[in-house]
Amino acid sequence: MSQEQIAQPVICIDRKKNRIRIHKQTLHMLGNPGYIQLLVNPTSGMLALRGSFRGDHLAHRVKKYQISPDNCYEIYSKNLMNALVKINGDLQEEHSYRIYGEMITTVGVCRFDLHNLNNIGESE
């Protein structure tokens, strides 16, 4: 992995398990929030993450003890996965994809283009 990729926010989409894995470095770039919100723009094909707060009914609580040993926070959602497939039909059923994004520091958002997928193979 290049030095440039290390400084980028990263997520993985796992179609087999209907899972989005948010890498720990991505959470660090967002300021280690207690809650995160996923924003999807189907028109532009973008997924964004931002820190949120407890009262936000659209936010996911990031429990520090639930971050897996391989340094990621996982969200499981079949509905979200179906929405992502509608945006990008190239997401194959049994495969996982890594997406490198960009941090927009002025608004505290990590943005990912769902059309720039890196297929990392079949899910285990």
Task: Give the tens place of pLDDT for each residue, 17-26.
Answer: 999 999 989 9
- Report which residue type is found at 87: I
- 36 φ/ψ sector (left φ>0, alpha ψ -120 to 50, else beta): beta
> How many domains are there within the chain?
1
Q: Check pLDDT > 80 for residue 71.
A: no
pLDDT band at 70 (very low <50, low <70, confident <90, very high): low
The pTM is what? 0.84
**Residues constituting the chain:** 124
Q: What is the domain extent for residue 66?
A: 3-122
